[in-house]
């Protein structure tokens, strides 16, 4: 619970964007999908039955402001996801092109290396790299 409070304090200090630790993210409650449709009804019940519900120390304005900010963030997410997808695809395309060019050079160099020891020595590190097999993908890298 202390982790959640710590994360909430971060959000209050900088309501636009926060950078939570993995521990803080895992400690957050996951809202049930569609709960936003019921917020005003619950806030109205709290206002109507203020005495009976006085132990719920909730600021209705703060709840509304949080949801307004959530809506703004939601509107920003789709274009940002598309931009990230484009960045990843551009990176993949450029790396793929460079890889294919390196393989072309290596293929020619392998043939030449059979007759030229200097070329064989020059491509030796890459030949060793190629003999090891595929490496595991780095964290976050697309398959």
For residue 64, tell me if it sits in a domain.
Answer: yes
For residue 39, tell me if it sits in a domain.
Answer: yes
Q: How many domains does the chain have?
A: 1
For residue 5, tell me if it sits in a domain.
Answer: no
Predicted pLDDT at 133? 77
Mean pLDDT of 9-31: 81
To which residue do tokens 């390196």 refer?
102
Q: Would you say residue 11 has pLDDT above 80?
A: no
Q: Would you say residue 16 has pLDDT above 80?
A: no
Mean pLDDT of 9-19: 66
Please give the residue range of the domain that contains residue 113.
31-132
DSSP-assigned letters across all residues of 26-44: HHS--PPTTTHHHHHHHHH
Task: Provide the 10 A C-beta neighbour count for residue 62.
Answer: 10
Q: For 58-86, what is each residue's pLDDT tens digit?
A: 999 999 999 999 998 999 899 999 999 99
Can you read off the two tokens belonging to residue 112?
A: 């030449």
- Cα–Cα dist 18/44, whole Å: 30
């Amino acid at each position: 619970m202390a982790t959640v409070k710590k994360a909430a304090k971060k959000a209050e200090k900088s309501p636009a964007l926060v950078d939570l630790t993995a521990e803080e993210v895992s400690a957050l409650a996951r809202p049930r999908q569609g709960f936003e449709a019921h917020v005003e009804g619950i806030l109205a019940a709290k206002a109507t039955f203020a005495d009976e519900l006085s132990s719920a120390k909730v600021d209705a304005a703060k709840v509304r402001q949080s949801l307004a900010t959530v809506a703004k963030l939601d509107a920003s997410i789709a274009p940002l996801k598309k931009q990230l997808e484009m960045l990843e695809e551009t990176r993949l395309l450029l790396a793929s092109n460079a890889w294919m060019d390196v393989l072309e050079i290596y293929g020619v160099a392998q043939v030449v290396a059979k007759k030229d020891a200097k070329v064989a020595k020059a491509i030796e590190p890459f030949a060793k790299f190629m003999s090891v097999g595929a490496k595991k993908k780095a964290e976050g890298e697309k398959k």
